[in-house]
Amino acid sequence: MDRQMPTYADVVAARARIGALACRTPLIEHPALNAAVGGRVLLKAENLQRVGAFKFRGAYNKVAQVDKAAYPGGVVACSSGNHAQGVAAAATLRGLKSTIIMPSDAPRLKIERTKAFGGEVIAYDRVKEDRDAIAREICAKRCAALVHPFDDPDVIAGQGTVGMEMMEQAQALGIKPEVVLVGASGGGLIGGVSLAVKEAWPEVLIYSVEPAGFDDLARSLARGERQRNAHLSGSICDALMAATPGEITFEMAKRNLAGGLAVTDEEAKAAVRFAFRELKLVVEPGGAVSLAAILAKKLDFARRTVMAVLSGGNVDPAVFSEIILEPRQAA
């Protein structure tokens, strides 16, 4: 592994660089959730973050370091929606142009919001076309810098500020978690969070949570080498369908994670309903997978203290309505 691995010091530097631009999102505890699990659960509500997802943190930390003179074409990113919005917002704040390569089947809300944040959206077919090849071509033509969605030390360090806040908030409450759950696609969020968590409490068990059938990180950890998903689409968790873990993020996962979990689409939808009905929070299916793993009791959480990240709330209104209006007994 010859690519640069981020460190906890990089996370500290990222927080200083981001400053007050990112919201300090709350760490939420609710009696209904504790009762459902039989333990103590605290949720880091990154669905309340700027742009509606944690992605702003890593995007800004990377974009803030782009040399405008060296890259007059601004920045380019590939994303199904949340990274897209984060990069577009960060670039606009820094006075840079942003071009975002988005799958044509991305939720309309995410496409519209990316444009609203100042990004130029270029659509592609995620099954037939190679988004990375498209991005490289645009970077070369426009003299623009690529902002990778997860396999970049600066992006990972920025996402690590989620973990720093979690640990500080837990310590202020006198809480020491035993288990931490984080949703994963390419692994940037869980990579950064794991740096901060392990810095505070090395013995804490950290698990990734992915959609069933797209659990490439869990399978990679089990086999000791990077695995690929058989399909590139087919889950309601549109934010969590990276084809394979990143090189950097997989190395970090091997060092810091206890394992990986997977949840079905129905379990993710049940978590979205629970968050809305009981916690009064709007969470997208991909942002709710950690909560889904808790509610579905993928591990024994009874009498344990668990922390999890709600990573995003950018759900299509029609999809959200359909989910929350399903019969209560389905939740």
Whether residue 2 has pLDDT greater than 60: no
User: pLDDT-based confidence at 61, cuts 50/70/90?
Assistant: very high
In CATH terms, the fold of domain 67-146 is: Rossmann fold (3.40.50)
Predicted confidence (pLDDT) per residue in 161-173, tens digit: 999 999 999 999 9
**Are 157 and 13 contacting, i.e. CB atoms less than 8 angstroms apart?**
yes
What percent of the chain is predicted at pLDDT more than 90?
Answer: 88
Predicted local confidence at residue 197, as pLDDT? 97
Whether residue 330 has pLDDT greater than 80: no
Torsion sign (Cα): 104, 116, 118, 58 = negative
User: pLDDT-based confidence at 123, cuts 50/70/90?
Assistant: very high
Integer-rounded Cα Rg, in Å, for the chain is 18
Whether residue 5 has pLDDT greater than 50: yes
In the chain the first and final C-alpha atoms are separated, in Å, by 44
Whether residue 1 has pLDDT greater than 80: no
Neighbours of 125 (CB within 10 A): 13
Predicted local confidence at residue 3, as pLDDT? 62
Q: What is the pTM of this model?
A: 0.94
To 5 degrees, how large is the angle CA 84–CA 87–CA 88? 80
Whether residue 217 has pLDDT greater than 70: yes
Whether residue 112 has pLDDT greater than 80: yes
Please name the amino acid found at residue 161. T
What percent of the chain is predicted at pLDDT more than 70?
Answer: 98
Q: Which of 157, 137, 136, 130 is nearest to 64 (CA)?
A: 157
Structure tokens at 90: 């960060």
- Partners of 217 in the beta sheet? none
Query: Phi and psi dihedrals of 309, rounded to 5?
Result: -105, 125
Predicted confidence (pLDDT) per residue in 62-100, tens digit: 999 999 999 999 999 998 789 999 999 999 999 999 999
According to CATH, where is 3.40.50.1100 located in the chain? 8-53+152-330, 67-146
- The domain 8-53+152-330: what is its CATH number? 3.40.50.1100
